[in-house]
Amino acid sequence: MNSIAPIQKTITQNDQPAIDALSEVCELTRAELKQCFAKGAVWLTSGKQKPMRLRRVKKTLKLNDCIQLYYNPKVLNDVPLPALLMLDKIQYSIWLKPRGMLSQGSKWGDHTALYRWVEMNYQAEHESQPRQAWLVHRLDRATAGLQLLAHTKKMAQALTKLFENRQIKKRYQAIVHGQFPQTPQTYQTDIDERSAITHVQRWQYDERLNLSLVEVEIETGRKHQIRNHLSEAGFPIVGDRLYGDEALDAGLKRPRPNLQLTAYLLAFTCPIEQTDIKIELNQTQLDLLELTQSADTA
């Protein structure tokens, strides 16, 4: 079965198991359907409620419930690189998300999203079952770096509030084309009609490659904010397929690299212990191109 058109069934009899309902309208085996449930490709709309992912294959459906399958073999067969646990506070954790792993899933599945990957693959030795995970902030799929997950709804609310009040410090490193100014720069624009503020300073400049290593700190978290601001300023990030410059990337005379942007630092006050938390990636974890060493540091 190769079709990626949504498969939908409206329930006409009470107490029908979800997997039975889908089996009647698609060619997938029950084993294949179970994988679709587990990987977040099945949705249930009940009454006036919003559609929600359905993972329980034996969920009893009621009259007029609507079940949908978004089947895309390419999405479902995707296997991301594993995330790396950096800090575990039980109620929340910090992970190093690799490039290519999503922060949030799509209607076609979410098993390659960090929160779901953790639910499916991580279980501490003292725990009897994997934890639930809630996303509290996002990184682009092409961006590697540190990401927080909450493991209770209460903690998700607490961490979200810290982000909203700008009490979590997030810093990135990026390699950009051109000689970025030695003087720190601040960019403030509207993205999707919301203010976006980005602070950038140069750490290193490689004259041979005409590339700069910069540190970026954001006050807001708009979609593609860093990539947008640096591109508009004339310093596109190396390897950026959306806002970058393919010709400049080709001038490096090597296979086009992945997006050279990594979220390398998170700092905040722990909402559990009220102690300072600071997690910073080391040089080997940054996954960035190496520039020629110079005295040009911040």
In this predicted structure, what is the pLDDT of residue 297? 47
Asked, for residue 297, whether it belongs to a domain, the answer is no
In this predicted structure, what is the pLDDT of residue 5? 80
Asked, for residue 293, whether it belongs to a domain, the answer is no
Question: Could you give the CA distance from residue 39 to residue 8 in angstroms, rounded to a whole number?
Answer: 17
C-alpha R_g of the chain: 22
Residues 275, 192, single domain; the answer is: yes
Q: CA-CA distances (angstroms) from residue 295 to 119, 174, 181?
A: 45, 18, 15
Tally of residues, the chain: 298
**pLDDT (tens digit per residue) in 246-277:** 999 999 988 999 999 999 999 999 999 999 99
The structure tokens 């927080």 sit at: 148
In this predicted structure, what is the pLDDT of residue 222? 82
Residues 154, 55, single domain; the answer is: no
DSSP-assigned states of every residue in 214-235: EEEEESS--TTHHHHHHHHTT-
Residues 174, 279, single domain; the answer is: yes
In this predicted structure, what is the pLDDT of residue 298? 42
- 77 phi, psi to nearest 5 deg: -90, 0
In this predicted structure, what is the pLDDT of residue 292? 80
Question: Could you give the CA distance from residue 211 to residue 179 in angstroms, rounded to a whole number?
Answer: 6
In this predicted structure, what is the pLDDT of residue 50? 93
Residue 178 is classified by DSSP as S
Contact between 178 and 232 (Cβ < 8 Å): no
Asked, for residue 192, whether it belongs to a domain, the answer is yes
Question: Could you give the CA distance from residue 131 to residue 133 in angstroms, rounded to a whole number?
Answer: 6
Q: Tell me how crowded residue 148 is: count the other CB atoms within 10 A of its CB.
A: 26
140: domain CATH number is 3.30.70.580
| Domain end call among 75, 99, 132 | 75
In this predicted structure, what is the pLDDT of residue 3? 61
| Domain end call among 146, 164, 182 | 164
Residues 241, 275, single domain; the answer is: yes
Question: Could you give the CA distance from residue 249 to residue 256 in angstroms, rounded to a whole number?
Answer: 6
Residues 105, 200, single domain; the answer is: no
In this predicted structure, what is the pLDDT of residue 293? 63
| Domain end call among 27, 57, 75 | 75
Residues 54, 18, single domain; the answer is: yes
Measured in whole angstroms, the distance separating CA 161 from the mean position of its chain's CA atoms is: 19
66: domain CATH number is 3.10.290.10
Residues 105, 58, single domain; the answer is: no
Question: Could you give the CA distance from residue 140 to residue 62 in angstroms, rounded to a whole number?
Answer: 38
Residues 218, 272, single domain; the answer is: yes
| List of the chain residues with pLDDT < 50 | 295, 297-298
Question: Could you give the CA distance from residue 189 to residue 143 in angstroms, rounded to a whole number?
Answer: 21
Domain of 17 in residue numbering reads as: 7-75
Residues 130, 179, single domain; the answer is: no
Asked, for residue 257, whether it belongs to a domain, the answer is yes
Residues 175, 258, single domain; the answer is: yes
Asked, for residue 111, whether it belongs to a domain, the answer is yes
243: domain CATH number is 3.30.2350.10
Asked, for residue 133, whether it belongs to a domain, the answer is yes
In this predicted structure, what is the pLDDT of residue 34? 96
Asked, for residue 296, whether it belongs to a domain, the answer is no
Question: Could you give the CA distance from residue 290 to residue 203 in angstroms, rounded to a whole number?
Answer: 13
In this predicted structure, what is the pLDDT of residue 295? 47
Helix ranges (H only) for the chain are 18-23, 30-38, 73-76, 114-121, 153-164, 225-232, 246-250
Number of domains present in the structure of the chain: 3
Asked, for residue 149, whether it belongs to a domain, the answer is yes
Contact between 131 and 122 (Cβ < 8 Å): yes
Residues 24, 130, single domain; the answer is: no
Residues 45, 103, single domain; the answer is: no
